[in-house]
Amino acid sequence: MKSGSRWWARAVAGALWVLVLPAWAGAEAELRTMLGQMLLVGFRGTEVTEGSPILRDIQAFHIGGVILFDRDVLSGGGRNILSPAQVHKLTASLQAAASIPLFIGVDQEGGRVRRLREEHGFLALPSAWEMGQGTEAATRRWGERTGAMLADVGINLDFAPVVDVAVDPQSPAIGALGRSFAADPQTVARHALAFAQGLRSQGVLACLKHFPGHGSARTDSHLGITDVTATWSPAELIPYARILPTDAAPCVMTGHLFVRTIDPRAPATLSAPIITGLLRQKLGFDGVVISDDLQMRAITDHFGLEEAAVRAVAAGVDMLLVGNNLQYDPDVVPRVVQALEAAVAAGRLSPQRITSSWRRIMRLKAELPAGGRGTEPRTRLED
């Protein structure tokens, strides 16, 4: 064992945990494996080929998961999704390359935000706003249909439902796109819970977003700083308070939002008062916290990717989402892992901070169908 690995093993010895889990989940891991598991990464390609960066990232850096997109933002062409059969083959190939099962995620909210589209042979899905006009039973049914469709092609994580409250119906990233269920937080909570339960019934993980609430934002964090200090209210936490005590949604995605009354210095993704203080301590959430895409300009224009990754982990984020689509770098995984390793060596990130995320990630992966692989074809629900 290398000297650095020996140091790490000694440092985390007191933090190791024992659960009745698959062998890959309970084994002691070296630092690089733990850090790799904290990454969810986008990539180019509709198949896995020898020499592709994503194959290296899975095998050498042990990334925790991937995110699939239908469109490549920079080229304007396709990216990962052509048809149900192709996506199933892709996800199976990705899982076959991994020593620890991957989270394979997608934004399948419905309406404007859906990566699996009808023109590629997938089920059409109404927007959250449209679902919110109907019954909770109907919304749950849409969650079940979505979950069955995702599970059929080996996708085990949906970055949905959106639990942002439509405080401003013209909010450019939420209300104007129909991504919120309602302007009333209780209605949002009921429909989001129903959709998440529908996903979960099909073995697909739900991820609530965007904490602590994007629905009043007058700007889009894809494009720059988003400050909701003057418009955000604690009522936007009602959906989280209602849903998190259930087992319907084991993941929460942070927003790149400034709420300066809670933290005057950092957006939510990089804020310990918001993630550790508000989400973990006040709301009691001990599931997996996932950042929104760290390549959005709200982050990259002000912090840079590597520094943002370190700050996010220090604040309490468990998994760093790097879509690798708004920008593209085939070596983004080595860059981020090396930045995190340097932060550990410098004492900016403690062994306990890393192992707590490792524990949450492994615990959640152990709940996935098929031992975490989640790639067995499932019977599609009747429409």
* DSSP characters over 163-182: ----SSTT-TTTGGGT-SS-
Q: Are 226 and 269 in contact (CB under 8 A)?
A: no
- Tell me the three state secondary structure of residue 8: helix
In whole angstroms, give the CA distance from residue 269 to residue 225: 12
Distance of CA 275 to the CA centre of its chain: 15
Mean pLDDT across 326-332: 97
Domain assignment of residue 376, yes or no: no
Domain residue limits at 224: 3-370
Could you give the 3-state DSSP secondary structure of residue 208? strand
With bands split at pLDDT 50, 70 and 90, how would you rate the model's confidence at 25?
Answer: low
Annotated catalytic residue, options 158, 164, 292, 293 = 292
Q: How confident is the model at residue 236 (pLDDT cuts 50, 70, 90)?
A: very high
Residue 364 inside a domain? The answer is yes
pLDDT tens-digit profile of 107-129? 999 999 999 999 999 999 999 99
Residue 371 has a CB neighbour count (10 Å cut-off) of: 12
Could you tell me which residues are beta bridge partners of residue 252?
208, 289
* Spatial CA neighbour of 351 closest among 31, 61, 19: 31
Residue 223: which pLDDT band, with cuts at 50, 70 and 90?
A: low
For residue 358, give both structure tokens: 């490792």
* Residue 375 counted as domain residue: no
Identify whether 378 is part of a domain.
Answer: no
Residue 381 — very low, low, confident or very high, per pLDDT cuts 50/70/90?
A: very low
> How would you classify the pairing of strands 157-158 and 205-211?
parallel
pLDDT over 90 percentage in the chain: 84
Q: What is the DSSP string of 318-374?
A: SBEEE-SSSS--TTHHHHHHHHHHHHHHTTSS-HHHHHHHHHHHHHHHTTSTGGGT-
Residue 382 lies in a domain: no
Given pLDDT bands bounded at 50, 70 and 90, which one contains residue 26? low
Q: Is the CB of residue 226 less than 8 Å from the CB of residue 219? A: yes
Which CATH number covers residue 12? 3.20.20.300
Per-residue pLDDT tens digits for 74-107? 999 999 999 999 999 999 999 999 999 999 999 9
The confidence score (pLDDT) of residue 120 equals 97
DSSP per-residue string spanning 122-164 = ------HHHHHTS-HHHHHHHHHHHHHHHHHTT--EE---B--
pLDDT tier at 22 (50, 70, 90 boundaries)?
low
State yes or no: pLDDT of 17 exceeds 60. no
Question: Each residue of 242-285: pLDDT tens digit?
Answer: 999 999 999 999 999 999 999 999 999 999 999 999 999 999 99
Q: Does a structural domain hold residue 228?
A: yes
> Which residues share a beta bridge with 78?
71
Exposed, middle or buried by CB within 10 Å (0-12, 13-18, 19+), for 132?
buried
Which residue among the candidates 222, 227, 302, 329 is catalytic per the annotation? 222
- Mean pLDDT for all residues in the chain: 91
Confidence of residue 369 (pLDDT cuts 50, 70, 90): confident
222 flagged as catalytic? yes
Q: Does residue 185 form part of some domain?
A: yes
Instruction: Say whether 329 is catalytic.
Output: no
Domain count, the chain: 1
Within-domain flag for 380: no
pLDDT band at 382 (very low <50, low <70, confident <90, very high): very low
